[in-house]
Amino acid sequence: AEITKPGQWVSLKAKVVQLWDSSSPNVSQVGLIGDETGIIKFVIWAKSGKGEVEEGKSYLFRNVVTDSFQGRMQVNINRYSEIIELDEDIKLPPREIEVVGALVAIQQNSGLIQRCTICKRVMTKGICPIHGKVEGYDDLRVKGVLDDGENFYEIILNEENIKALTGIDLEKAKKIASERLDKNAVLSELKNKLLGRYLKVRGTKGGRYLIVNEVEFIEGIDKSAIDKLIKEVSL
Ligand SMILES: [Zn+2]
């Protein structure tokens, strides 16, 4: 839902993300609700006489009023509003997390790879698993395992991430491969530069993989410091 202006009557489907304690007798409930597009504060006024919402449940909030409080948008539920519990589970925005850990493994299908021009899947020896023998294009990626001392994270670094860390972009990778007459030379080079190094990675969890948005090297930290550095950076 797009909420940008105060004083608008809107209806929205959202999940209750969090309930806060309220010290005000005028407030029945206050907290956060959200859908795929974002999270917003909500207030149910005591005077509205509306039933209580529960954390983790999804509702249709009908005829609620947008408001701006201390520069942030919120929605207010008043006596003209309706709150209807939904059977569906409203999805929240993907959570971005930050992990600091050592890159303990780089998988074999990393480095200079070929992707299918139709579906972008990685091809093996010129064969797409879906489309068979088709035209491919070169790409650079690293599939690796990051260990933060507590968990393993499977991460995928794209060309941009790899370039930021190693200075090797797709053009340079192709040059390395052609100079040494070996595609695997790129993988060896990347392993030399990345394996065992500490990385700070910021990304979103998509299935089993952590899709990396930003990555940088971390130098000279011990394990207890790493543990402390693990934190969630946003809701
Ligand atoms: Zn394909």
CA 155 to ligand 1 center in whole angstroms: 22
CA 142 to ligand 1 center in whole angstroms: 20
CATH code, domain with 205: 2.40.50.140
Residue 207: per-residue pLDDT = 63
Q: Is residue 117 part of a domain?
A: no
Q: Show the domain range for 73.
A: 9-85
Q: Is residue 78 part of a domain?
A: yes
CA distance 101 to 149: 7
Task: State which amino acid sits at residue 78.
Answer: N
- Nearest CA to 187 out of 162, 213, 152 is that of 162
Q: Is residue 119 part of a domain?
A: no
CA distance 154 to 131: 26
ipTM score of complex:
0.99
CA 139 to ligand 1 center in whole angstroms: 14
Could you give phi then psi for residue 81, rounded to 5 degrees? Answer: -85, 165
Report the SS3 class of residue 162: helix
| Total Cβ atoms within 10 A of residue 162 | 26
- Nearest CA to 165 out of 184, 147, 144 is that of 144
CA 121 to ligand 1 center in whole angstroms: 6
Q: Is residue 36 domain-shared with residue 101, that is, in the same domain? A: no
Q: Is residue 80 domain-shared with residue 23, that is, in the same domain? A: yes
CA 34 to ligand 1 center in whole angstroms: 36
Q: Is residue 90 part of a domain?
A: no
Q: Is residue 80 part of a domain?
A: yes
CA 175 to ligand 1 center in whole angstroms: 26
CA 159 to ligand 1 center in whole angstroms: 20
Q: pLDDT tens track of the chain, all 235 residues?
A: 678 888 899 999 999 988 888 888 999 999 999 988 888 899 999 999 887 899 999 999 999 999 988 778 899 999 999 999 999 999 987 778 899 999 999 998 899 999 999 988 899 989 999 999 999 999 999 999 999 988 889 999 999 999 999 999 999 999 999 999 988 899 999 999 999 999 999 988 766 788 898 999 997 655 555 455 444 433 3
CA 115 to ligand 1 center in whole angstroms: 8
Number of domains in the chain: 2
Q: Is residue 106 domain-shared with residue 74, that is, in the same domain? A: no
